[in-house]
Amino acid sequence: RDVINDALTYSSAKDFRSTKAAILYQELVIAHGRLTVVETELAKARDLFPTATAADRRSLRQEILQMEEEVQQLYQRIPSLEKEIRKEENKVIN
């Protein structure tokens, strides 16, 4: 669900009147899904790390760092997308 303004809340890309906002909404849904997947994979990798062999730890260390970076980027991208979606949709409906 995405809050557009005080009076409107949308729950699917079909709700949008702005084509650009609908496309951005689809990106937002994908970003939320990706965040869930990466956070789950990151938790698994962190759980494996303490009992892994030295060689596996080197590999896991790199994977963990990459996943942490992706999570950080998604945490920044998601609010930015939400703001951009509201801006684009409000241009069309106001």
Q: Which residues contact 3 (CB under 8 A, 6 or more apart)?
A: 9, 86
The answer, as to whether pTM is greater than 0.85, is yes
Q: Is the pLDDT of residue 54 over 80?
A: yes
Mean pLDDT of 21-28: 95
Q: What is the reported pLDDT for 12?
A: 85
Residues 2-27, mean pLDDT to the nearest whole number: 88
Q: Residue 40: what pLDDT?
A: 98
Total Cβ atoms within 10 A of residue 21: 26
Indicate whether 88 pLDDT > 90.
yes
CA distance 91 to 85: 10
pLDDT in tens, 41-51: 999 999 999 99
Q: pLDDT at position 79, please?
A: 97
